[in-house]
Amino acid sequence: MPNIVEPKLISGNANLPLAQAIARRMTMYRGMNVGLVDARIERFNDQEIFVEVYENVRGEDMFIIQSTSRPANDNLMELLIITDALRRSSAARITAVIPYFGYARQDRRTKARTPISAKLVANMMVEAGIERILTLDLHATQIQGFFDIPVDNLYASPIFAIDAKTQFQDRLDQVMVVSPDVGGVARARELAKRINAPLSIVDKRREKPGEVAEMTVIGDVKDKICLIVDDMCDTAGTLCKAAEVLMDNGASEVHAYITHGVMSGPAVDRVTNSVMKSLVITDSIQPTEAVQSAPNIRILPTAPIFAQSILNIWSGTSVSSLFETDTLAPIYEGIL
């Protein structure tokens, strides 16, 4: 057990409801009040970000809860400036809890004269004074190697497995997990193994970014309940088209389990009007009112897994134990 008495949480503006939910769960686990550190984060007239921490954080184990979601640049700068404020206030250790890691899609050079922005963001975080990262379902797991500090990458698949077993408990023998592209096979296979279901793949070919030219289903989905698994849903164009292709190939129902609901532009309308019976996302990104009111979108909480992970990091115990469905089941009992 470290010398530090209690972990302390501070939140940016990206997803305050999630930060408050994490604090409530930690209060429940600890049996004592765990609140968010009192601070103000405001913008000057020219949109410069200013942070002031009202509580003493000297020698404390600090956890900054901040997704770098839309607006990505503003939320990223909030994270960096909060880190600088804590470092200059003599915090003992600073851990960034980033439920959704923005810029993760720019993890490699796709053509000449393009950046690797995920590496740049990693450098900025380390230089600012962050000493550990806790995140959920990185778009590309190799991003962990961009950091010279520990990175704990949690997985949503155990949460999805618990939910799927609850939702389809009487029909699990009819379920088939589907990867929406070849690159996501490992992620889909992980859920398929957890619920003992077969795996299928939708092979897509793009003529240019944002447009899918052709989709082909690899595997027999006839009369199957198809669960499309992916790490993020942005405009939902590919997702909705994949659902249509699966139905055209004889699937009885199509559902989707997506970790990060970016839900840009026409995404909500597309999902609402699609053949999908349900889209399940997590609250790693604060859902808009449109997302919350959509009849076929469900939101799973991530506060339980993040709260337990923070406590494990603080106490020096295993975070990887939370990768197992059996470990998470008691934490999510009564929630899913």
One digit per residue, pLDDT tens: the chain, 336 residues?
445 468 999 999 999 999 999 999 999 988 888 999 999 999 999 999 999 999 999 999 999 999 999 999 999 999 999 999 999 999 999 999 999 999 999 999 988 999 999 999 999 999 999 999 999 999 998 999 999 999 999 999 999 999 999 999 999 999 999 999 888 899 999 999 999 999 999 987 766 655 556 888 999 999 999 999 999 999 999 899 999 999 999 999 999 999 999 999 999 999 999 999 999 999 999 999 999 999 999 999 999 999 999 999 999 999 998 988 888 889 998 887
**Rounded to an integer, what distance in angstroms lies between the CA atom of residue 306 and that of residue 327?**
13
Binding site annotation covers 197? no
Domain at 278, CATH number = 3.40.50.2020
Of residues 101, 81, 96, the one with CA closest to residue 150: 96
Strand partners of residue 188: none
Residues 168 and 246 in one domain: yes
Catalytic site residue from 8, 111, 119, 204:
204
**Rounded to an integer, what distance in angstroms lies between the CA atom of residue 95 and that of residue 12?**
13
Residues 120 and 149 in one domain: yes
Instruction: Find the domain containing 11 and state its range.
Output: 7-155+303-331
pLDDT value of residue 215 = 86
Distance of CA 306 to the CA centre of its chain: 11
Number of domains the chain contains: 2
Residues 295 and 308 in one domain: no
Residues 62 and 113 in one domain: yes
pLDDT value of residue 1 = 41
pTM of the model: 0.93
pLDDT value of residue 207 = 60
In sequence order, what are the residues at sequence separation of 6 or more whose Cβ sits closer than 8 angstroms to the Cβ of residue 115? 106, 109
Residues 78 and 194 in one domain: no
Asked if residue 224 is part of any domain, the answer here is yes
Binding site annotation covers 95? no
Contact 239, 202 (CB under 8 A): no
Binding site annotation covers 325? no
pLDDT value of residue 204 = 76
Binding site annotation covers 39? no
Distance of CA 214 to the CA centre of its chain: 28
Residues 145 and 68 in one domain: yes
Active-site residue 204, yes or no?
A: yes
Residues 56 and 177 in one domain: no
Binding site annotation covers 106? yes
**Rounded to an integer, what distance in angstroms lies between the CA atom of residue 317 and that of residue 276?**
40
